[in-house]
């Protein structure tokens, strides 16, 4: 048995559950879970819990997350990211200072409506499954906390920014809300989780490395509990 924590650098176009299945099947570990879903188009830190470590999932889920995100101003999509249909286009006529100030104003406690394209359950059903069937339902806003948010790079219409936030914060919704506040609309084009709790990207192993690992290699790469 291997009981512990494996930090994975998730690739794009894979669900968090895809990564869980790869590890479960390759190494024959019955109990494998994760501590916080990453969207298929997001990359970065995915905390996998192996064996007895799956019992600790609740404590890891409650920890802060850190991201580097890129959004495109001037285009709003129905999904909040680049996978959705563009529902509005506007010319971006904003100064760097206006953008930086507006983004900075999104720090602190926020009320956020969960996007339809999310794994959140409402009445037992995943929102993204309903969205894929063309169903859109009313969602109650939830309180989240953004500890820090700042612009890293401005190359309009693209804006790169960093976020440190509480669990349950949807970065795609944050980008969409920022776009609405700026009056031009926006959607998320890229997202990388650089930290989950105390686990950082520098500790993560790639999926390519995992696919070439032996059980001994996995044991050495796992943080034991």
Domains present along the chain, CATH in parentheses:
4-62+198-224 (3.30.2350.10), 65-196 (3.30.2350.10)
pLDDT at position 70: 98
pLDDT band at 89 (very low <50, low <70, confident <90, very high): very high
Q: Are 46 and 16 in contact (CB under 8 A)?
A: yes
| Residue among 39, 78, 81, 177 flagged as catalytic | 39
The burial class, CB within 10 Å (0-12 / 13-18 / 19+), for 214 is exposed
Q: Name which of 210, 116, 99 is nearest 153 in CA terms.
A: 99
For residue 172, the surrounding DSSP H or E stretch is helix 171-182
Q: What is the pLDDT of residues 69-79, one digit of tens each?
A: 999 999 999 88
Which two tokens mark 137? 């339902």
Provide the whole-model pTM: 0.91
**What is the per-residue pLDDT for 114?**
79
User: What is the percent of the chain with per-residue pLDDT over 90, rounded to a whole number?
Assistant: 73
Give yes or no: 18 in active site.
no
> Which of the four pLDDT bands, split at 50, 70 and 90, describes residue 135?
confident
Better-scored residue on pLDDT, 135 or 71? 71
Residue with tokens 């298929």: 40
């Amino acid at each position: 048995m291997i009981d512990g924590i494996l930090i994975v650098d998730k690739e794009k176009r894979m669900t968090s559950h895809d990564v869980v299945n790869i590890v479960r099947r390759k190494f024959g570990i019955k109990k494998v879970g994760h501590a916080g879903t990453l969207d298929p188009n997001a990359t970065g830190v995915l905390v996998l819990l192996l064996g007895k470590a799956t019992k600790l999932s609740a404590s890891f889920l409650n920890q802060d997350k850190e991201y580097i995100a890129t959004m495109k101003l001037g285009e709003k999509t129905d999904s909040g990211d680049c996978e959705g249909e563009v529902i509005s286009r506007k010319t971006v006529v904003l100064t760097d200072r206006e953008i930086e100030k507006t983004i900075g104003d999104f720090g602190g406690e926020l009320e956020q409506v969960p996007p339809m394209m999310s794994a959140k359950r409402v009445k037992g059903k995943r929102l993204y499954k309903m969205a894929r069937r063309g169903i859109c339902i009313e969602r109650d806003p939830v309180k989240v906390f953004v500890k820090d948010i700042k612009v890293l790079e401005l190359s309009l219409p693209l804006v790169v920014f960093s976020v440190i936030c509480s669990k349950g914060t949807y970065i795609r919704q944050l980008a969409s809300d920022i776009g609405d506040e700026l009056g031009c609309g926006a959607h998320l084009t890229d997202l990388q989780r650089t930290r989950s709790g105390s686990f950082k990207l520098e500790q993560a192993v790639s999926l390519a490395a995992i696919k070439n690992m032996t059980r001994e290699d996995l044991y050495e790469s796992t943080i034991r509990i």
